[in-house]
Amino acid sequence: MDYRTMVNPTYLTAKSTVFMLAIADNEDAKRMIAGLGLQETLSKRDPSDTLVSEADAKALMTGVTVAIEARYAALSETLKKEGYKNLLDIACGYTPRAIFCKKNGISYAGLDVPVVAEELQSFADKEGLGKVYFGGDATNAASLNAAADGLEGEVLISCEGLLGYLSLSEFEQFLDGIRQILENHSGAFVTSDLGVKYEPFAKANMSDPDAYDASRKRTMKQSDIYNDGVGRMDREKVKAFIEARGFKVETLPFYHADENLSMLQAIPERWQEKYLDLLKNACVWKMTLDPNYTQKALVSGAEKIENLTVDYKTNGGALEMTVSGRIDTISAPAILKVFDECGDGISSVKVKAQELEYISSAGLRTMMIMVKKLGQGNVTVEGASDDIKEIFTVTGFDGIIPLL
C-alpha cells in the first residue's frame, strides 16, 4: 500500500491538467500522455459519479480548459518576456513544462509530492530531460531549497493550482520557503492562483451553475478538505498578508490579445465572449523581496526535509503515538503506516503532540483517515501547542478530533 497517495487528495485529479492541455492541442502534452501511458486514465472514471448533466459537463470542461490553456501560456510569456533562464515549478503536476523549458534553453526544476515526482522523473529519464523532478512539500522550506539548489542565477518561481488548497498557516510556511530561495538566488515568484477565479470559467456557459457548486462541495468533502485555501480568500487581505512578510506585489496580464488560444478558436462565438471577458479581467501576481523589509521571519520553517519521529505503544485496543517534529506531505504517511501495521484490533488512537512543531493539511487528513475507520471521538490529540490548536480550529478539525 502506498500511503503517500492517501494523504494527497489532489493526486487523483492531478493528471487533469495535461489532458486539458492536450485537448487544447498542446503537442508537448500529447507527448507526455503517451510517454506516461495515461491514455486510459480518463476512461476509467465513472461517468455517473457527477452531479451535472452531460451538456453542462461539456460546458464546465470547456471553460476550465480555456483557463488552463491561458494559464500555461501566461507563464510561458512571462519566462520569455522577462528573460529568466531558471524555473522552479512548485506543485508542477502533470504539465509538459519541463519539455517547454528544454526547448527554450531554460533550466527547470519541478517539485511535487513524492509519488508524483517519481512518476514524472521516470518519464524525464526516458525523454533524456535529466534530473528535473523532485519530491517535496510546498510547506517544507528544506524541500523547496533542495529542488532549487541545482539552479544557478536568478530564479523564476511558479506555483499554479495549489494555493486554492493551502490554508493561511500553510501559506505562511510556503512563503517562508519562497523567501529563502529568493534570498539565495534572487528573482521573483509568480502565480495566477491569486489573480484568477476559476469557478466563473467553469460556470460561464452551464445551464445549471448551481450544480457545479454542489459537485465541488461533494468533492471537497470526499477529499477531507473543509475550508477554502488562500486562493479563494479576499484578495486585498491576502495581499496585505504577503506584504507583511516582506514581499512587494505587482500584477501582470493573464491574457494577451495576440495569443492564439486553441480552445477559443474551437468553440461557439457566444461562448467566446464570456470567456474573453473573464480572461481580460484576470491577472498574474508577481512577488519580489522588499529591500526595505528588515523584520525577522514570522515563522520558523522546516530545516530538514524529513523531520518527524513517531514512537508508539499499544495497550489492548488503544494505540498511543508520540510525535515529534513536523507532519506534512512527506512525513504524514509514516503515521498511517504505524496505524495500519497495528492491525484491525485498534479501537482508539491518542496522539501525544507536546513536541509537534507543525501540522499541514496532509497531517490533518491522516487524522481523518483514522477517524473514518474508528469513529468520531476515538482519535484524540493531547498536549498540542496553541499554534497547533489554532490550525485545528481554523480548519474545523477541532470539531472532529478532540484536543485534550
Task: Please check the confidence at residue 252 and state whether its pLDDT lies above 90.
Answer: yes
- Phi first, then psi: what are they for 87, rounded to 5°? -130, 125
Nearest by Cα to 232 from 245, 251, 213: 213
Residues 6+ away with beta carbon under 8 Å from 80: 104
Task: Please check the confidence at residue 223 and state whether its pLDDT lies above 70.
Answer: no
Residues 6+ away with beta carbon under 8 Å from 37: none
Query: Which tens digit of pLDDT belongs to each residue from 153-174?
Result: 999 999 998 888 888 888 999 9
Question: Between helices 168-185 and 235-243, what is the axis angle to 10°?
Answer: 50
Nearest by Cα to 251 from 63, 17, 69, 74: 74
Task: Please check the confidence at residue 283 and state whether its pLDDT lies above 50.
Answer: yes
Phi-psi sector, 233: left (phi>0), alpha (psi -120 to 50), beta? beta
Between residues 38 and 43, which one has the greater pLDDT? Answer: 38
Our CA dihedral for 156, 246, 196, 68, rounded to 10 degrees, sits at 20
Residue with cell 533550466: 107
Query: Which tens digit of pLDDT belongs to each residue from 96-143?
Result: 999 999 999 999 999 998 889 999 999 999 999 999 999 999 999 999
The C-alpha atoms of residue 304 and residue 41 are separated, in whole angstroms, by 35
The C-alpha atoms of residue 103 and residue 404 are separated, in whole angstroms, by 55
- As a whole number of angstroms, the longest Cα–Cα distance in the chain is 68
Task: Please check the confidence at residue 46 and state whether its pLDDT lies above 50.
Answer: no
| pLDDT bracket for residue 27 (50, 70, 90) | very high
pLDDT for 228 = 65
Residue 156 DSSP SS3: strand
The C-alpha atoms of residue 189 and residue 285 are separated, in whole angstroms, by 8
Query: Which tens digit of pLDDT belongs to each residue from 335-360?
Result: 988 998 888 889 999 999 999 999 98
Share of the chain above pLDDT 90, in %: 56
Residue 346 DSSP SS3: coil
pLDDT for 74 = 94
Task: Supply the mean pLDDT for the chain.
Answer: 87
Our CA dihedral for 78, 270, 200, 210, rounded to 10 degrees, sits at -160
pLDDT for 230 = 84
